[in-house]
A and B are shown apart, each in its own frame.
Chain A
Amino acid sequence: MKTANCNIMFLALSVAGLLFGGYFASMEWFVGPSYVANDGLFWTLPLVAYIFLALTSTGISILMTAGELLDNKAVKAHKLSLLTAALSLLIGAFAALATEMGSPFHVIWLLFSPNLSSPIWWMGTLYAVELLLLGFKYYLLLRGRPSNSEQWLTSAALCVAVAAALVLGSVFGTAVGRTGYQGADASVLTLLCALASGLSLAPLLFKEQAREVLLLPGRRLLAGLAVFLLTLYLYSARSTVLADIAWVQLWMPLLLLASMLVYKAKPAVSALIALPTLLLVELFFVIQGQLQVLGPKQTWLGAVQSYLPNTAEIAILIFGCSVAYLCFFLFNQLQVRLGGSSD
């Protein structure tokens, strides 16, 4: 009864979020710009919403495919839930990205005019391939058709997920490295963020008695990311380059450590701490490098800018999350109708 009420509440919130975010998305597509973006600071919260949702989806995909390939019984038992979540989050990510790029068709056009030297092309293509692979895997699973190619499909989905998370770092590493010319660690950061967010969300998709299997990787990943961020923080604190203001803040690793401590006893609380922290880590990571305005735009925008997301940008984050939750809900309904289990 409690779960049913909770589901209805989440569903109602998602529908409200879809309408609220959808209004701002359509404003952005058809009316005019509503974000706090300018020629100096052009990648803002809507793009970070894409990064966050895509990385969370990647983390879940990696967990699911790696568990499957390693023949882990607990992961295999929750395959459908994990697959549904990964697919829904990726759809939510693309919904947020479509608002950022001005038109949903731009996302599709990107795939058909390749520039192999562009990290953004690789990012778009890898995530599109990941979406297709997950979609195909879901179709096979839903139809209950065991396929000879399943092993191949799982391996391919794992490789693509890892590559996509790494490439995402190389795209946004240019943002953080804009002023200080450093950012080689960006790909490691995005991969760790993907794994940490995936493993933070995973316990909520698992039955209570099966969560044991997530404890070791989940805690290690959260601790690993906290150590990584702490190292970056200490490195930045010792930096002698004044212009290169550090994007890492001390509260980031501390919150991740707090989330790690309650990972076993209170997985929902752990996720509630870890996921917003990871979103903020990704936001700071993308924004900081852009705060320093380059070239002649300094004359018009000032040498340094500050950033606080506005209502429209927050609405797009809500829009992406709502699309993801509604897809998750609809996929689960589909599974129930087709007689499958929704785990």
Chain B
Amino acid sequence: MRYGMVIDQQKCVGCAGCVFACKAENHTPPEINWCDKLIVSSGQFPDVRFEYLSTMCNHCEDAPCVKGCPTQAMHKSEGGLTLHEQEKCIGCKACMENCPYGVISFNWQRPHQEWQENKGLAAGTFTPSAMLAEAGGEGSPLSNPERGSSYPIQRQRGVVEKCNFCDHRLKVGLNPVCVDACPSNARVVGDLDDPNSEVSKLIRKYDGKPLKPELGTGSKVFYIRRYTPENR
């Protein structure tokens, strides 16, 4: 079993629904996006191209971040997922340096520290910390308790974090939240080892390619029907 994802570029409308769904599900701080976008413009006028590429951790087969991590905090797990163990992370940032896709982020500050503030917008209004105490939640009232089943809901300062394909959802038979949130069904997740899975069929049919295939990292997020001249 090897989890993989296909992103259909001609279905993706660039709404960033995946980005926001990921943020809510995984309780990422405002400055960190596990699921993000890459805006590529190329060519010369009048023959210019603009492409919106949704990106996240590619869960590479031969993951450079796993090789570079000195403490095995970044490791390969069931289903070929590349996961991160916060308790082992020493904040050396070797994984960030090694990742050719730039999808690992560092907690420079204590995540969600804005919810610790004791000052309201105006006198008599709720302060963030009072709101947190009232509404409950870990780190912020927006925290998702389900996330806590396999990864700390509230991360520490001085450690990295990245997409884990919503491993807590995969475990109970659900899709990663970015897949379910996509309004145009541009994302499909499945088993790359099963030739009859939808992802395998789509990759075969449209000759799906990962980002930077020349690096040989064995990236498991494939893009199909990109807006390249041959796909017009």
Contacts and interface: CB of A to CB of B under 8 A. Distances in A.
Given A101-B91, A102-B158, A120-B92, A115 B72 contact: yes
B157 interface: yes
Contact of A174 (B39, B98, B102, B108): B98
Interface string A311-330: 00000000000000000000
A115 B100 contact: no
Interface stretch (B62-70, B168-176, B188-196, B197-205): B62-70
Contacts of B72: 113-115
B38 A39 contact: no
A218 to B, nearest CB: 34
Interface string B49-86: 00000010000000000011111110000000000000
Given A178-B97, A296-B33, A106 B90 contact: yes
Given A101-B90, A175-B97, A118 B103 contact: no
B157 A296 contact: no
A121 interface: yes
B93 A43 contact: yes
Contacts of A294: 99-102
A42 B93 contact: yes
A294 B105 CA distance: 12
A37 B97 CA distance: 13
B39 to A, nearest CB: 6
Nearest to A297: B102
B88 interface: yes
Given A102-B158, A103-B158, A299-B38, A40 B102 contact: yes
B37 interface: yes
Contact of B68 (A39, A103, A120, A299): A120
Contacts of A174: 68, 97-98
Contacts, number: 103
Contacts of B91: 101-103, 106
A296 B67 contact: no
A110 B97 contact: no
Contacts of A103: 91, 158
Interface string A17-36: 00000000000000011000
A101 B160 CA distance: 12
Contacts of A299: 36-39
Given A33-B108, A120-B92, A295 B38 contact: yes
Contacts of B103: 295-296
Tier of interface size on chain B: 20 to 34
Nearest to A296: B36
Contacts of A5: none
A306 interface: no
B96 interface: yes
A333 interface: no
B203 to A, nearest CB: 22
**Which of B39, B97, B101, B109 counts the most chain A CB atoms within 10 A?**
B97
B27 to A, nearest CB: 18
Contact of A118 (B68, B101, B110): B68
Given A101-B91, A102-B157, A295-B101, A109 B39 contact: no
A297 B36 CA distance: 9
A151 interface: no
Interface string A119-136: 111001000000000000
Contacts of A40: 102
A42 B36 contact: no
B181 interface: no
B105 A110 contact: no
A148 interface: no
Interface of B: 33, 36-39, 55, 67-73, 88, 90-94, 96-103, 105-106, 108-110, 157-158
7 contacts: A43-B93, A101-B158, A115-B67, A119-B68, A174-B97, A178-B97, A296-B33
* 5 closest residue pairs by CB, A with B: A295-B102, A294-B102, A296-B36, A121-B70, A102-B158
Given A43-B93, A110-B90, 19 more contacts: A32-B110, A37-B108, A39-B96, A39-B102, A42-B97, A102-B91, A102-B157, A103-B158, A106-B92, A109-B71, A115-B67, A118-B69, A118-B70, A119-B68, A124-B70, A171-B94, A296-B36, A297-B102, A299-B39
Interface of A: 32-33, 37-40, 42-43, 101-103, 106-107, 109-110, 113-115, 117-121, 124, 171, 174-175, 178, 290, 293-299
